[in-house]
Amino acid sequence: MSVRYEDLPLITDVHILFMKPFLLKDLIKEPSKIKPEYSFLTSIDEYSHYYEKNEKSSSNSLMSVKIPYINQELYLRPLKLKETLNSYWKSFRIPIKINEVSGQKRNHLFQLLPLKITIPIDSLRVNNMDFKIKTFAYLFPFGICCLNMKIRLYKKSFKELIDLIPKFKKAVFINREKEKTFAKFSSDFCERLSQCLSSSGNIIPSDMHTSICLTTSDQLHYDPKLRWDRVSISGMAALMSSSVLANVSSMNEDEKRAILGEDVKGRRDGEILFFNHQTHTSFLYPSHAWISALRREKDDIIDSARLVERKIKCMSDNYQSFLNVIFAVNDCFEYIQFHKNEIETIKCKTIVEYFIDIFAGNSLPEKNSFYFKKRFDPISKSIGLSDKLVNIDT
């Protein structure tokens, strides 16, 4: 008997990320072509100085460098220090801070802290409805720019969400960048950014990755050691593949596993994370037991709901930041592998050395190494990054 949409719980809160990386060729291959006002991007020490100088500013400081965009300018802003010390980014920022106290400089760790470019596009129209979005770019100084579009929805059925996700990808922006989908806009934006930095506009795109993090009214069940819950697995597989639920539920176990991809161990019991590099999709589902424990921390129902919302948002943001980093590093290494003779030897060697140091976890306190152990290992293996870290030869 096939699974029906009515068998699945209500999706109470969902965070969706569409992320598309681009390699800016001149920034990695020919840094001498970068214009003087952006030359700090090509120096480890100058970049770290720029970051520290601007990360504490609460407003658009004159010290921050800008890029032109339509009829205005966008800032190349470091992530705020408060954010980098209290999120996924602390994996890099806290070791910097610890080493500074002991009189040591680990400026290469700043290379994994991107500059954020907030883009004034905030609406997307689907099915004659306007959806609020957040659009921004992460510019990494080693030559990768990741475009991000975030959408948050409440109280949707699985059927509604399965229908919406592919439409979000094909939808056009409402303001400023009319008649452009996210993929088209991302390409145009990075080409303009590259032209701004070096006048060339040479970019190499990568595939778009879709990340879905959601909570439900009733628990979804998955235990790889036991028999699968047919309803939960069918629902998750249909969502990750944007397929009709009845078709997915009629598949055998191996076919469903192929859709779900890599089963990544969660931080807590009941947490689910699937990562499929072939379909460029992630599915993150928080532990119901953890959410219940959070609710008990507050006596007031409204305060309890706000706490849960904030924690789920933090979880989703941290995972999405992690994805930006590993895809950026993977694309950089991919280019180095096939074009190392075209890259300055010293720059190439430096990039390889500091990535190997960082992703081996050598710079991280144990309590901050979760993403570099439990999640990094299986996902980096899936995308080929772990092999590049071991085998790349400069």
pLDDT of residue 62: 46
Two structure tokens written together for 287: 């532990």
**Can you tell me whether residue 275 is helix, strand or coil?**
strand
From first to last of its 394 residues, what are the pLDDT tens digits of the chain?
678 999 999 999 999 999 999 999 988 888 888 999 999 999 989 999 999 988 886 655 546 788 888 778 899 999 998 888 888 888 788 878 877 777 777 788 888 899 999 999 888 889 888 899 999 999 999 999 999 999 999 999 999 999 999 999 999 887 665 678 999 999 999 999 999 999 887 899 999 999 999 999 998 887 665 456 788 999 999 999 999 999 999 998 889 989 999 988 777 777 899 999 999 999 999 988 888 888 888 878 888 888 989 999 999 999 999 999 989 989 988 888 887 776 665 566 666 676 776 665 555 555 556 666 667 778 888 998 878 777 666 5
pLDDT of residue 224: 64
pTM (global) more than 0.75: yes
pLDDT of residue 241: 95
Scan for tokens 């085998």, then name that residue: 391
Q: How far apart (Å, rounded) are the C-alpha atoms in residues 139 and 199?
A: 17
pLDDT of residue 345: 57
Does residue 50 contact residue 110 with C-beta atoms inside 8 Å? no
Scan for tokens 């009214």, then name that residue: 217
Distance of CA 116 to CAs 72, 152, 270, 352, Å? Answer: 16, 20, 33, 23
